[in-house]
Structure 1
């Protein structure tokens, strides 16, 4: 009887643990279904139109043609440039802000101030940037009125410029609050006693960050970098408003080829989106696998030390 009761308790415990493991996935199920329905259907149709079939054989004609297309290669370069610079600067500034002010962010008022830019849509943020930094915008007018410029045409070109400075600036001030949002729970859960120990042993600010904060921040920073990089690489509204006619960023080029160009360019636009989606998916799998292994390895090393 004792053995039977123990077995029954074990089964009950296993059932509860299985339910607790499945609960997060059940909460995510509606979002996953909607994403699979709309995004999955869109990717399927794009893949269908981007392939050429010869009987039962699939020919990657448009994909080969796409990677030989100079316009696409230039767009890819500028898109990777904008996405990487915007993401890297946003991540560094957001990390510094979080490190310095995470104690203040325990108050709701400071959180609202830090996260307020996320309430502004990206096309509105791009329009604000245009109003401020255009050659005939607000800043050039102010500098001309106070005598810093002889004419408003002397104001540096920050919008619709070939280096996409206006696009990068817009993404930076829009994405810094997102970085703070993602890193703030990490710092709030961090055991600051290790920081005190490191400083007691003579560690400077860099050694404290490297030994205490870095193991916590590194995995989530990689995940944030992936999210922002992929988002900026595929975003349309900001480069459409603040970009240049050549070279266009990939989303703007794909839109032009699909809607405004020749019908022959539509399969190229579909192939472009499929390539970007595949690259993003592979990068996500690699980074998430690495971060999970990092967390598991670090948790094991901490358990051994304790």
Structure 2
């Protein structure tokens, strides 16, 4: 009896959290999967997926392109910033960078989308600043409110998260390996890519996987920054529901998003098993 009481108490302790996960995640997930594969007559069907591919095949490819490019760009910028913070010489520039890069971390995606909408417009802050500095003529300003604006917004928003994880992992490394590489004549760039980055690759992989999933689920940025076609699947799902009440096709698009997320998780698990991180 004494052994059962802690077990029951532990279950009661986590029961509210389990109930929230079941109500807000597992039930919607199960309902979405069921509705995507079920026809109006209640029989299994793939017609909803056929309709989704017929109407939104271009948007599916566009979504994959945007998320992959944004993830790669986020990785490049985060590696550069983390390398400067950890391997750079202490100074005002490094301290200022360490403060500035974290600023977007506290801004919601919807606010980031609105900020970029005014910043990247043809007559927005970016072009007006370039004109004021004399770098371009007033007629040379170009709008970036298209796929480029989505990528810029995603990268700007996700770089702080990835950099925090990456810089923290770099700072926790044994400095002896870094000092040894520097003493043997390796520069900062070579030390970063040959010594530091291989040791923190698991942390970088986790951060990029989470960023991939996050960017795949954002609705506000593609809708606010680039409202034209092609667009991302989140906008298509919202449009099918709000305009037509077509939950079946929206659920089919959602299942395709699940598949993309599962692919990213599979690559992460495969990498972790190969490198021995998850063993």
Task: Give the Cα–Cα distance (whole angstroms) in 2 for the partners of residues 150 and 175 of structure 1.
Answer: 32
Task: Give the Cα–Cα distance (whole angstroms) in 2 for the partners of residues 77 and 253 of structure 1.
Answer: 13
Match of 2:110 in 1: 123
Over 3 Å counting, the alpha-carbon distance change for 1:150 and 1:245 in structure 2 is closer
Matched, 1:273 2:254: yes
* Equivalent residue for 1:179, pick from 162, 175, 196: 162
* Equivalent residue for 1:288, pick from 251, 269, 272: 269
Conservation of the 8 A alpha-carbon contact between 2:49 and 2:249: yes
Matched, 1:96 2:80: yes
Task: Give the Cα–Cα distance (whole angstroms) in 2 for the partners of residues 55 and 75 of structure 1.
Answer: 29
Match of 1:75 in 2: 59
Structure showing greater radius of gyration is 1
Match of 1:65 in 2: 51
Structure 1 position 47, deviation (Å): 1.6
Match of 1:48 in 2: 34
Structure 1 position 171, deviation (Å): 1.3
Matched, 1:134 2:124: no
Q: Deviations over 1:223-272 (max 9, x none)?
A: 22211122112210011101132112110011101211x34x43111111
Over 3 Å counting, the alpha-carbon distance change for 1:28 and 1:200 in structure 2 is farther
Aligned length, in residue pairs: 266
The alignment's TM-score, normalised by the length of structure 1, stands at 0.74
Provide structure 1 residue ranges, at least 5 long, that are not aligned to the other structure. 1-18, 300-306
Runs of 4+ residues deviating >6 angstroms: 26-30, 107-110
Over 3 Å counting, the alpha-carbon distance change for 1:27 and 1:224 in structure 2 is farther
Structure 1 position 210, deviation (Å): 4.3
Matched, 1:240 2:223: yes
1:152-301 alignment runs, 5 A limit: 154-159=140-145, 161=146, 164-205=147-188, 207-260=190-243, 262-263=244-245, 265-296=246-277
Of the structure 1 ranges 87-96 and 209-218, higher mean CA displacement relative to structure 2 is found in 209-218
Structure 1 position 178, deviation (Å): 0.7
Structure 1 position 208, deviation (Å): 2.9
Task: Give the Cα–Cα distance (whole angstroms) in 1 for the partners of residues 267 and 18 of structure 2.
Answer: 21
Two-structure CA RMSD over aligned residues (Å): 3.5
The alignment's TM-score, normalised by the length of structure 2, stands at 0.80
SS at match of 1:102: helix
Structure 1 position 35, deviation (Å): 3.3
Provide structure 2 residue ranges, at least 5 long, that are not aligned to the other structure. 1-5
SS at match of 1:272: helix
Over 3 Å counting, the alpha-carbon distance change for 1:136 and 1:278 in structure 2 is same
